[in-house]
Amino acid sequence: MTISKSVITGWVVAACFGAGALSTVMPSVAATAANPAEPKRVALVVGNARYTGVPVLVNTLNDAEDVCKTLRELRFEVICAKDLRTRREFKRTVQDFTSKLGPGTAGLFYYAGHGLQIDGENYLVPTEAPIEKKEDVEDETISMRYVMTALEEARSDFNLIILDACRNSPFTRGFTRSTGRGLAPVSETPTGSLVLYSTAANDTASDGPSGQRNSPFTKHLLANMKVPGLTVEALVKKVSAGVQADTHKLTGKRQVPFSYGSFTGDFCFAGCASPTEQAETERLRKEREALERAHADLALREAELRRKAEAEPAPQATRTTAPPKPAAKPVVVPSF
């Protein structure tokens, strides 16, 4: 098959037009991609359940798994860790997390597991921490002060620390009165950070009724994370209302989530735009993707046509031969 240069040129023009269309038809989407409304968002989610020498926590692994899944759906970069065994392993995981943060990012730290307070300091407990006396706590656990200092040094724009760790700790039995129930109040938070407890300081949180997949706190946290346009401040209020209603119905006592810190900007898990604006953005994004696919298809077809044109042998000139001349007739000479 012979392909003329005009056909190839036609495909080149079409491909170029397709590329131009991407920048002219969809300028708003291009601008959104170049200047995203939300910063890069990175999360570390830790669920500790299988503790050595103490009963297994019922819901913490489910809670961590479901938070990881939801955050990924909401376009977070997520580090999901389960049953961190030692202080070293826990600290290394925190370091991996904070290494991904910096200016222009938002960080989220979620922990479900055992926590305890000693002398007003809060500690998160690895699953194999050998705690026999109060002096072991500092050597074998990770302090919340360490986590918050690491976040502050990362200099991210916003940090959210969520602790569903206010359970009745089996590690402090026999300790002196320097220990208390649940976690101690937060005295200092990193700049631009919020700390959210599953219940008030010096109180313990419920794991929920038997057979329920998530704790009451994480159940309502997951439900409200997915609400478009819901700021983190509004989320805290909705989570608190839901947890109080559930626990009062279950036990007759209200579990009251509590938050510390301040943040002057806006942060929304599912985006701070209204549902209508988000739907329009999603429509434009899909249209842009369709145009990009069309552009890629045109480029492939152009390349294929060029390849065929280059592989086609040039037509050979046909040599024509004159027909043979008729044989000369003998000349008869008459004799006289």
Domain at 79, CATH number = 3.40.50.1460
- pLDDT for 318 equals 59
- pLDDT for 18 equals 38
- pLDDT for 156 equals 94
Range of the domain at 21: 5-32+296-311
* Residue 274 pLDDT grade (very low, low, confident, very high; cuts 50, 70, 90): low
* 325: in domain: no
Higher pLDDT, 125 or 171: 125
The pLDDT of residue 302 is above 80: yes
- pLDDT for 27 equals 39
Residues 51 and 187 in one domain: yes
Residues 10 and 65 in one domain: no
* Residue 328 pLDDT grade (very low, low, confident, very high; cuts 50, 70, 90): low
The pLDDT of residue 189 is above 60: yes
Residues 78 and 195 in one domain: yes
* 279: in domain: no
The pLDDT of residue 215 is above 70: yes
- pLDDT for 23 equals 38
Dist CA 291 CA 298 (whole Å): 11
* Residue 329 pLDDT grade (very low, low, confident, very high; cuts 50, 70, 90): low
* Neighbour tally for 311: CB within 10 Å: 7
Mean pLDDT, the chain, as a whole number?
82
Residues 21 and 101 in one domain: no
Residues 178 and 193 in one domain: yes
* 183: in domain: yes
Q: Residue range 95-102: average pLDDT?
A: 97
Residues of the chain with pLDDT > 70: what percent?
77
Residues 165 and 28 in one domain: no
Flag the least confident range among 11-25, 225-239, 283-297.
Answer: 11-25
Report how many domains make up the chain.
2
Q: Residue range 54-74: average pLDDT?
A: 94
- pLDDT for 325 equals 66
